[in-house]
Structure 1
Amino acid sequence: MGKIILPHQSYAFDDIKGGNWAESEPYFADSLRFCQDWLCGQTSFELKTSGSTGTPKTIRVQRTQMVVSARATQGFFRIAAHARLLCCLNTAMVAGKMMLVRGILWDADIYLVNPTADPFSANKLPERFDFVAMVPLQAETCLNNPRGLQKLLGIKHLLIGGAGLSPTLFDKIKEQKLNAYQSFGMTETVSHFALAKIEGENLLYRTLPGVKIGTDDSGKLWVKAPMAIDPLLQTNDLVEMVDEESFFWKGRADFTINSGGIKIQPEILESQIQPWIHTFFGAVPFLIGGKADERLGQKVVLLIESEQKPGFQTENLFDSLSKHIPKYQVPREILFVKPFEKTESGKINRLKTLEKIK
């Protein structure tokens, strides 16, 4: 019988099912409650979407979908029973929840730690794991220190998802010969539906068994998957089909910013920060965009249509935004661009304006 191992305590699945665990910090308590719900047979669960197919929302997925997803991953990697897993992802989101589900269904030992940038930094953990999932920021942090690298080398199957890989991280993984895969999926497909071995020059994604894919007239990927919430899901991902089961990813067709695995909707953020923009710079046109970043994949930047202002105004804006919005949404740079590119109807052309800062 598998168990969940916390930093200072461990619980067999039977104990968790019966609610027999000691009081602990909220993150671990919430994770254990989810496991209890699962072990008691709850048939559906609410999950927050990340925004891959539109505005973030809460959706309800069925237990059967999560089982199909976990079993497909187990079959792909040929994970045996009683495996050793590390869950270092946020269990409030689908990726973390699915690590818990996988561990339970695989009758595994699940080592549960806080989802920090370096999961190995302050935890007494085994030298070897059979299966670990990370976001790129975690993988890169571990690669950049000797202790973390040693731990990564002891992972039999490493899954990296939530954001794209920077060229530097891609090369480091290949250099160390990690058995690592980039995942491709969304909340609506209950985690990944395709995986790419991190090797060669480009990532070739291959679908899991039972998944059918294709593209619409504009080259955007659609998915029919047994683990998906809908029979057909249309994404905003531009892909190059290789055959009926594999593809290369080319980019996003929308404006979603993916910063370190956190997806940010520019239009929503713009409406939130407008009062402070106008306070310090007046009623000037502005937009939020994503700029390539080695560490985060993309970083949030603020573009203002204006001549550059004195430094104190920029500093005051940074200070105000830092106090009123989540830190991962605070722009890493404020850039002054004049003029903004416009559409024929006079609206801001985001793509062409953002091209000016590349």
Structure 2
Amino acid sequence: MGQVIFKDQIYTFEQIRSGNWQPDDKYLSQSLQFCKEWLDGKTDFEISTSGSTGKPKSIIIKRSQMELSAAATKAFFKINKSPKLLVCINTQMIGGKMMLVRGLCWDADIYLITPEANPLIDLSLQKKIDFCAMVPLQVEACLKESISTTKLSNIETLIIGGTPSSLSLIQKIKAAGINAFQTYGMTETVSHIALAKINASELIYHTLPNIKIGTDDANRLWIEASMVIEKRLQTNDLVEIIADGVFRWIGRADFTINSGGIKIQAEALEAELQKYIKPIFGEINYFVFGQKDEMLGQKLVLFLEYKKDNENKVHELLEILKKEMKKYHCPKEIFILEMFVKTPSGKINRTKTAELCF
């Protein structure tokens, strides 16, 4: 039977189920409580959505859906019996909860770490980790330190989710030779339903077993799968179907900017802007947005998360973009904010951030 390891404390699944534990650490206590409820056979779990495109809400996810999701991931990666899992993301959100569920279903040794920017820096572990999930911010932090980069490279399979990885991060992952996959999924799909191997110039997603996908008239992805809450879940993600169960993600339909009749895909443009922003501002958070405009309908603007009073850098960037970018792809204005508004799960809330300036 598996166990949960937190620092120097070990809790067997049998001990967790018995309730014979009283940890002082709040994160550990919350995680063990979920494990106990699972081992006791609880059938319904209330989980909050991330709130990246709207107000966060609570939804009920059934045990059977979580079991199906865990089984599909195990089949996709051909996970061996009794693996070693590293859980270092928030176990109050769907991604972290599903890492616990996978460990419980796979009879795994679950190495639990309080979520931090670099969860590997102080990790002392002799045995190799078979499976781990991180958010891009954590991977970025790990790659800044040689010690944690080595530890990251030693993880058998790393999945990265929560938000898309930047182009520069993808390049670093490839350069470090890390066996990593970008995930596609959401709370409503009970974690990921597709994965893209980070080893090429672009990410091509392959669905997990027994998942059917298609698009509506607007090229927005729909999903049919036994672990998904709705019979057919219509998403707001624009995709290109390449083959059966294989697709390329383009961006969010609700992030599409219509400027003078020209439709601009925010995420695609952001990836293009990186090579101009990074040399001037370094690796910072940024996004493009459509500001209401009487003439254009929406005016393309750029937001940078950076310290204020950098008008010279802003002017330098604007001049470069005017020379290098297509007319409609060049931001008409740049806003600098010292801190973006984030969702509870750490994603950038574009609308709330933009409202600070409009």
> What TM-score results when the alignment is normalised by the length of structure 2?
0.74
| Shift in Å, 1:49 | 1.1
Point out the more displaced range, 156-165 or 121-130: 121-130
- The alpha-carbon distance between structure 1 residues 42 and 169, as it changes in their structure 2 partners (threshold 3 A), is same
- Give the structure 2 partner of residue 226 of structure 1: 226
- Give the structure 2 partner of residue 133 of structure 1: 133
The 2-side partners of 1:168 and 1:20 are apart by 46
Q: Give yes or no for contact 1:52–1:186 (8 Å, CA) kept in 2.
A: no
- The alpha-carbon distance between structure 1 residues 298 and 101, as it changes in their structure 2 partners (threshold 3 A), is farther
Q: 4+ residue stretches of structure 1 with deviation over 4 A?
A: 289-305, 325-337
The 2-side partners of 1:209 and 1:6 are apart by 32
The 2-side partners of 1:141 and 1:166 are apart by 13
| Shift in Å, 1:67 | 0.2
The 1-side partners of 2:174 and 2:90 are apart by 26
- Give the structure 1 partner of residue 96 of structure 2: 96
- The alpha-carbon distance between structure 1 residues 107 and 232, as it changes in their structure 2 partners (threshold 3 A), is same
| Shift in Å, 1:54 | 5.0
Q: Give yes or no for contact 1:300–1:329 (8 Å, CA) kept in 2.
A: no
| Shift in Å, 1:26 | 1.1
The 2-side partners of 1:75 and 1:318 are apart by 44
| Shift in Å, 1:122 | 2.8
| Shift in Å, 1:124 | 2.6
- Give the structure 2 partner of residue 72 of structure 1: 72
How many residues were matched structurally?
295
The 2-side partners of 1:164 and 1:322 are apart by 17
- Give the structure 2 partner of residue 350 of structure 1: none
State the percentage of identical aligned residues: 47
Q: Aligned runs of 1:131-280 on 2, under 5 Å?
A: 131-255=131-255
Whichever residue aligns with residue 91 of structure 1, its letter is: T
Gaps of 5+ in 2: 257-265, 294-307, 310-335
The 2-side partners of 1:238 and 1:126 are apart by 43
- Give the structure 1 partner of residue 40 of structure 2: 40
The 2-side partners of 1:318 and 1:245 are apart by 40
Q: Give yes or no for contact 1:45–1:62 (8 Å, CA) kept in 2.
A: yes
Gaps of 5+ in 1: 257-288, 312-316, 341-358
Q: Secondary structure of the residue that 1:155 maps to in structure 2?
A: coil
Q: Give yes or no for contact 2:340–2:353 (8 Å, CA) kept in 1.
A: no
- Give the structure 2 partner of residue 263 of structure 1: none
Whichever residue aligns with residue 6 of structure 1, its letter is: F
Q: Give yes or no for contact 1:52–1:236 (8 Å, CA) kept in 2.
A: no
Q: Give yes or no for contact 1:163–1:297 (8 Å, CA) kept in 2.
A: no
- Give the structure 2 partner of residue 84 of structure 1: 84
> What TM-score results when the alignment is normalised by the length of structure 1?
0.74
- The alpha-carbon distance between structure 1 residues 190 and 179, as it changes in their structure 2 partners (threshold 3 A), is same
- Give the structure 1 partner of residue 62 of structure 2: 62
The 2-side partners of 1:82 and 1:69 are apart by 18
Whichever residue aligns with residue 193 of structure 2, its letter is: F
Q: Give yes or no for contact 2:49–2:58 (8 Å, CA) kept in 1.
A: yes
